[in-house]
Structure 1
Amino acid sequence: MADVLGEADDDRPSGVKPDIFDTFLKYVDQYKKSYYNETKELHFRFNIFKENLVRIEKLNLHTNKSFAWYGINKFSDLTPEEFKASYLTDLKPYVGSLDDKNHITQVDKLHSLNIPQKLDWRNFKNQSYVSPVKNQNSCGGCWAFSTAELMESMYAIQKHVPPPHLSVQEIIDCSQYNSGCTGGDTCAAMQWMVDSHVSLVNDTKYPLTDTSDYCKLLPSPTTGVKVKNFTCQSYLDDEQDMLMLLSNGPLTVSVDATLWANYQGGIIQHHCGNTINHAVVIVGYDLTGDTPYYIVRNSWGPDFGINGYLHIKIGENICGIAGHVSTLYIV
């Protein structure tokens, strides 16, 4: 990177403000981009970076401090098409999209519930029932990550123990109703767990490889976690029931994450459609402020968003979050 930085004056594209190109060079260095010594690719990525800066500026055109804000992150050198191809083509739900109707759950219904005004399974009665944030990297396996993460939390809650670190790779390789790193569905993965009576082992016994491979299930594992049963439901217009369900543990949901690429923080209240293309886990909620929100765990690493998490407004099916909701129960 020193060579590129040292040659910045010579390599800078004509007509570009020095501060923008220098910002990009610092970005390339910070995120250790592989093209830092490839001038042609560097300039190609720089043009994409500039377009993303414009897109970020438009997304931030609001005055409400609680709204989500967007900024430069590890995805800022990708086109929307590249981002979608790498991170949003891996979910193949039973229903690929939702209707265009507005689905509203009145806020007074949320506040009238006989539940705590805040709940966070990362810190519930001084114990965490949520494992560290994972990173799916180049594997299109959000469906497998969210399924394993839900199993970890529900096992911890139901057995009153810290969450185990379960093998996502076992689900990717062995779930017969899905397609490994090229796509799958959370409900199909849970159905496979129930039908096959398979034990999901610790990830040290079946480590993540970020690729699809042949199934290497142990014949009769002495340890592991099994799914007894599960639910896959829609809570459109009934998000108060989702909050009630969250009192039992986290939920896996399918969402539209098309414009999440440059999310930094705040509460997502706009900039979402209803094309379902990603699976995440809701680990809690907060009803105390003017804008109630879900606490959502992602699988793009802890360097994304709020230490790997997002906040999404409750009550308006934002990002299609209430359309495909799952929970499960451990044997």
Structure 2
Amino acid sequence: MGKLSLLVSMLMVSCWAVEIQVEDVDTAWQKYLAEFPIKIQTKSEIWFRKSIFSETHNNIAKHNANKDATFEMGHNQFSVMTEDEKQQFFGALLPATPVNISLDVSSRQVATSVDFRTSACMSPVRNQGGCGSCWAFSATAVVEFQKCRKSGFVRVDLSEQQLVDCSRANGCSGGWEHEAWQYLASNGGQDLESRYPYTARAATCTFQNANSPGAQISSTTPVQWIPSGDTNAMMSVLTGGRILSIYMQLPNSFMNYRSGVFNDGACVANNAHAMNIVGYGTLNGIPYWVVRNSWGSSWGASGYILVQRGVDLCMIERYSRTTNVL
């Protein structure tokens, strides 16, 4: 074969490969729009969102092609968002290291595994929307779960909006779970969602102390910090029937998690997020935490993610804490 013929053949193969790649992205884009409809006003907006999607699609394909990967990625609501838009879905503030550790669980025998995802007291996964209120959802989940277990396994739906509006200024710009519990302990407790519904925006506090609260917090020990990095103590709390609030600095790949044990250590300080640990176990020899998120049930594995346990991945084991419900 002459040099010219070889060059033509190579160009044809190259063009064919590019065409196939474009077709793959186009097909994936149409499937994405069918599953995650987005309101697009102009052609320029369509191309802008599709360009973000294309980059996300290529990153997902590259990751999933890695045979050594311990988790799988997939498309979701974040596949077409800019980095600035994604920032609205975080909201955790870096906690200060606690002075006093009041939790003593050293004598408790921990279970081999715990998983409260299917517990009668585990409320459906919430969606914080474009408000940096992850801290309020994490704090509320702990209170709801504990209140349910102390009330004969009767589930209760409490108001995250009360924490957003009342426990600090502009609760959509971030906060701390322990501060939320301290507020509840000093201000009569947490209202019901039915009386104080979530709006995904900060507003004026309308909580009425005269109402019978949905749950009350101990005023003497509203916050119990787990010793930093003490995974055995964390497992002990879960074995004892409580869940934990945690802080993470999320890697970019976290946004498109789908399944498996997440182990990406490329932490991003700006992606600070509060969630809950609701269990632990081992998958394919890798120990993990069961983590509950607040991005809705269409994200991740029905709203949950398995995060590698025992390596303090992106600070997940550094600032864990829980509360005491009366």
TM-score range, shorter chain: 0.7 to 0.9
Structure 2 vs 1, CA of residues 315 and 187 (structure 1 numbering), >3 Å: closer, same or farther?
same
What is the rounded CA distance, in whole Å, between the counterparts of 2:81 and 2:247 in structure 1? 23
Per the TM alignment, residue 75 of structure 1 is displaced from its structure 2 partner at its CA by 1.0
What is the rounded CA distance, in whole Å, between the counterparts of 2:288 and 2:23 in structure 1? 40
Using the size of structure 1 for normalisation, the TM-score is: 0.81
The answer to whether the Cα contact below 8 Å between 1:31 and 1:74 also exists between their aligned partners in 2 is yes
1:101-250 → structure 2 map (5 Å cutoff): 114-123=109-118, 127-176=119-168, 178-196=169-187, 198-228=188-218, 229-233=221-225, 235-248=227-240, 249-250=242-243
Residue number among 285, 288, 297 corresponding to 1:290 in the alignment: 285
What is the rounded CA distance, in whole Å, between the counterparts of 1:274 and 1:244 in structure 2? 29
Q: Percent identity over the alignment?
A: 27
Residue number among 289, 294, 309 corresponding to 2:304 in the alignment: 309
Moved more, 249-258 or 21-30: 21-30
SS in structure 2 at match of 1:173? helix
Q: Tell me which structure has the larger Cα radius of gyration.
A: 2
Per the TM alignment, residue 162 of structure 1 is displaced from its structure 2 partner at its CA by 2.4
Per the TM alignment, residue 27 of structure 1 is displaced from its structure 2 partner at its CA by 1.4
Moved more, 17-26 or 204-213: 17-26
SS in structure 2 at match of 1:286? strand
Per the TM alignment, residue 316 of structure 1 is displaced from its structure 2 partner at its CA by 0.3
What is the rounded CA distance, in whole Å, between the counterparts of 2:117 and 2:75 in structure 1? 27
The answer to whether the Cα contact below 8 Å between 1:199 and 1:221 also exists between their aligned partners in 2 is no
Per the TM alignment, residue 274 of structure 1 is displaced from its structure 2 partner at its CA by 6.6
The answer to whether the Cα contact below 8 Å between 2:158 and 2:190 also exists between their aligned partners in 1 is yes
Q: Deviations over 1:167-222 (max 9, x none)?
A: 1111111113x5311111111111212233x2212101111111111011113112
Per the TM alignment, residue 152 of structure 1 is displaced from its structure 2 partner at its CA by 0.1
Residue type of the alignment partner of 1:45: R
Number of aligned residue pairs: give it.
293
The answer to whether the Cα contact below 8 Å between 1:233 and 1:326 also exists between their aligned partners in 2 is yes
Question: Is 1:74–2:69 an aligned residue pair?
Answer: no
1:271-290 → structure 2 map (5 Å cutoff): 271-273=265-267, 275=269, 277-287=272-282, 289-290=284-285
Unmatched 5+ residue regions in structure 1? 1-13, 97-112
RMSD of equivalent CA atoms? 2.3
SS in structure 1 at match of 2:186? helix
Moved more, 266-275 or 279-288: 266-275
Structure 2 vs 1, CA of residues 117 and 234 (structure 1 numbering), >3 Å: closer, same or farther?
closer
What is the rounded CA distance, in whole Å, between the counterparts of 1:48 and 1:199 in structure 2? 44
The answer to whether the Cα contact below 8 Å between 1:93 and 1:186 also exists between their aligned partners in 2 is no
The answer to whether the Cα contact below 8 Å between 1:119 and 1:285 also exists between their aligned partners in 2 is yes
Per the TM alignment, residue 319 of structure 1 is displaced from its structure 2 partner at its CA by 2.3
Query: Who is 2:88 aligned against?
Result: 86
Q: Deviations over 1:82-128 (max 9, x none)?
A: 32x2212x2223349xxxxxxxxxxxxxxxx83221212234xxx52
What is the rounded CA distance, in whole Å, between the counterparts of 1:34 and 1:151 in structure 2? 36
Using the size of structure 2 for normalisation, the TM-score is: 0.83
Moved more, 72-81 or 180-189: 72-81
Moved more, 50-59 or 260-269: 50-59
Structure 2 vs 1, CA of residues 31 and 181 (structure 1 numbering), >3 Å: closer, same or farther?
same
Moved more, 298-307 or 160-169: 160-169
Structure 2 vs 1, CA of residues 306 and 173 (structure 1 numbering), >3 Å: closer, same or farther?
same
SS in structure 1 at match of 2:307? strand
SS in structure 2 at match of 1:75? helix
The answer to whether the Cα contact below 8 Å between 2:280 and 2:290 also exists between their aligned partners in 1 is yes
1:6-21 → structure 2 map (5 Å cutoff): 17-21=22-26
